[in-house]
Amino acid sequence: MKKRANFNSKLGIVLASAGSAVGLGNVWRFPTEVGTGGGAAFILVYVLCVVVLGLPLMVSEFIIGRHTHKNTADAYRQLAPRSGWILQGYLGVFTAWFILCYYGVVAGWTMKYLVEALVGGLGNITDSAAYFTSFSGAVWEPLIYMLVVMLMCHIVIYRGVQAGIERSSKLMMPMLLLIIAMLVVFSFSMPGSREGLRFLLYPDFSKLTSSVVLSAMGQAFFSLSLAMGCLCTYASYFTDDAKLIKTAGSVALIDTIVAIMSGFIIFPAVFSVEAVAPDAGPGLVFITLPHVFKIAFGGLPLLGWFFSVMFYLLLLLAALTSMFSLHEPPTAFLIEHFNISRRSATAVVTLVCVAVGVLCSLSFGVLADFKGLFGLTFFDFFDFVSAKIFLPVGGIIISIFVGWRLDREIIVAQLTNHGSLRVPSWLISAFVFLLRWIIPLAVGGIFIKELGLIG
Ligand code: PHE
């Protein structure tokens, strides 16, 4: 049998997984959630969710992936043959595939804005909302950008685990972190940054309603790329000496730092422009920010140019590394399950994503009135089904599976690297307790809330 690929180094493992986690969710979604959720009060709850809910789930996915060294679908088949749990493996593969279909569209937009920023076009926009609507509603331009971004992702995945995913993550993640640091410094030096900072750091506990707490959980979940086979698939390429708890801790830390830093960058911007609701959706970074860049750097065109180029480059890097992790689960599944070449598997995944992506992209224009999928456009349907249904369901199933069904020996062997690491037994018990009781209940809460069954 051909030897299965693996990541080459511990750094590669952390950076690839962090690349998956750090995405569009960190850069635009987190700051807006903070804004509506009471500033630092939200951040506190968010961090709690990451630690109590996110970390155990991430470690669970790592255990399943590394123990089996298989794609997500076959991993569950191996662990629980001939049982309903197998469905979870398929669910993970398809959720990733689903998300990639529309994530590619938004990633294409970031590419367009990067190009526009580079050629100085952003500075000439008079009405950024109208500009965005006309761009995203057009037929060809967004499609071409989506194709370009999908192709970039395709090439990386085609090149494989080490030469593709690991190598590009090792290049792109340090770049991303550097840009973030630079932008934070810039943003702090802007007039009015104090205000934004105060907003971010002032804990307004009166805004902490139950629905805000549930949003924090949902955000932690999405931002850490949990429950969709991505981290489980990456973990199947982990080496035997990788420390699972430590890796999960590093990934969660990087993800949270990037999210908070993005808040420091975006905050003064988003809230300085009136008439744009902070929860305006993915359009926010494409509508509010160009406008803000223009105003903020009115007299300093070069600085404005640099700031905007760096910002959209940051978004593109974040989106691309997340796309790799969405592409790999279905690709690995097709390769291993159907015994086909990486080349064919990558092509099938990309082609399906492009085909569905076309429909998603057009749903901002010519297909905007097509609401045949439960009253939703194609884009909204894919977003809704994957993020709001498959994700929480997957999270609940994974926690119950690892908490109740998986052999304790496998858990201990994976967490201690077969006895060579010392992990206190109370930590392992706490881990299992959270998986058995707390996470299913908490995630169940998100699920019911997101479906709109409670207020
Ligand atoms: N975690 C990514 C983000 O914050 C989104 C993502 C979800 C990426 C699932 C991969 C898998 O944007």
What is the spatial distance between Cα 190 and Cα 304, in angstroms, rounded to a whole number?
A: 11
In a domain, 3, yes or no: no
Measured by CA distance, the residue closest to atom 7 of ligand 1 is 225
Q: Which atom of ligand 1 is nearest to the CA of 224?
A: 1
What is the spatial distance between Cα 235 and Cα 379, in angstroms, rounded to a whole number?
A: 30
What is the spatial distance between Cα 344 and Cα 347, in angstroms, rounded to a whole number?
A: 5
SS3 for 34? helix
Q: Does residue 455 register a pLDDT over 60?
A: no
Ligand 1 pocket residue status of 23, Cβ below 6 Å? yes
Lowest mean pLDDT among 13-22, 68-77, 198-207, 265-274: 265-274
Residue listed under structure tokens 């509506």: 36
More confident residue, 388 or 42: 42
- Domain count for the chain: 1
In a domain, 160, yes or no: yes
Mean pLDDT of 344-354: 98
Ligand 1 pocket residue status of 26, Cβ below 6 Å? yes
pLDDT digits (tens, 9 = 90+) for 171-197: 999 999 999 999 988 887 776 677 777
Measured by CA distance, the residue closest to atom 6 of ligand 1 is 225
Q: Does residue 22 register a pLDDT over 80?
A: yes
CA of 303 to the centre of ligand 1 (A): 30
In a domain, 202, yes or no: yes
Give me the pLDDT at residue 379, please: 85
The proportion of the chain whose per-residue pLDDT surpasses 70, expressed as a percent, equals 94
Lowest mean pLDDT among 223-237, 275-289, 420-434: 275-289
Ligand 1 pocket residue status of 24, Cβ below 6 Å? yes
What lies within 8 Å, CB to CB, of 18 at 6+ separation is 169, 173, 250, 251, 254, 255
Residue 107 belongs to what domain range?
A: 10-450
Q: Does residue 157 register a pLDDT over 90?
A: yes
Ligand 1 pocket residue status of 110, Cβ below 6 Å? no
**Mean per-residue pLDDT over the chain, rounded:** 89
Mean pLDDT of 45-66: 96
In a domain, 5, yes or no: no
**Residue of 29, 225, 320 best suited for mutating to test ligand 1, as the one with most atoms within 8 Å of CB:** 225
CA of 285 to the centre of ligand 1 (A): 17
Split at pLDDT 50, 70, 90, the class of 217 is confident
CA of 127 to the centre of ligand 1 (A): 30
CA separation, residue 408 to residues 232, 259, 413 (Å): 18, 34, 8
How many of the other CB atoms lie within 10 Å of CB of 393? Answer: 17
In a domain, 1, yes or no: no
What is the spatial distance between Cα 338 and Cα 332, in angstroms, rounded to a whole number?
A: 10
CA of 314 to the centre of ligand 1 (A): 15
More confident residue, 189 or 302: 302
CA of 139 to the centre of ligand 1 (A): 26
Contact 253, 15 (CB under 8 A): no
Ligand 1 pocket residue status of 322, Cβ below 6 Å? yes
Q: What is the CATH number of the domain that holds 26?
A: 1.10.4160.10
Q: Alpha-carbon dihedral of residues 350, 352, 357, 362, nearest 10 degrees?
A: 140
The proportion of the chain whose per-residue pLDDT surpasses 90, expressed as a percent, equals 61
User: What are the backbone dihedrals phi and psi of residue 39, each rounded to the nearest 5 degrees, phi first?
Assistant: 60, -125
Ligand 1 pocket residue status of 68, Cβ below 6 Å? no
Give me the pLDDT at residue 2, please: 63
Ligand 1 pocket residue status of 442, Cβ below 6 Å? no
What pTM does this model have? 0.94
Give me the pLDDT at residue 453, please: 58
CA separation, residue 430 to residues 14, 56, 434, 441 (Å): 24, 9, 6, 16
Q: Which atom of ligand 1 is nearest to the CA of 226?
A: 9
Split at pLDDT 50, 70, 90, the class of 198 is confident
Split at pLDDT 50, 70, 90, the class of 281 is low
Measured by CA distance, the residue closest to atom 9 of ligand 1 is 225
Mean pLDDT of 247-267: 93
Mean pLDDT of 431-443: 95
CA of 217 to the centre of ligand 1 (A): 14
What lies within 8 Å, CB to CB, of 45 at 6+ separation is 37, 208, 212, 213, 216
Largest CA distance in the chain: 67
Give me the pLDDT at residue 272, please: 56
Please give the radius of gyration of the chain, using alpha carbons only, rounded to the nearest integer: 21
Measured by CA distance, the residue closest to atom 11 of ligand 1 is 225
SS3 for 241? coil
In a domain, 222, yes or no: yes
Give me the pLDDT at residue 203, please: 85
In a domain, 346, yes or no: yes
pLDDT digits (tens, 9 = 90+) for 56-92: 999 999 999 999 999 999 999 999 998 889 999 999 9
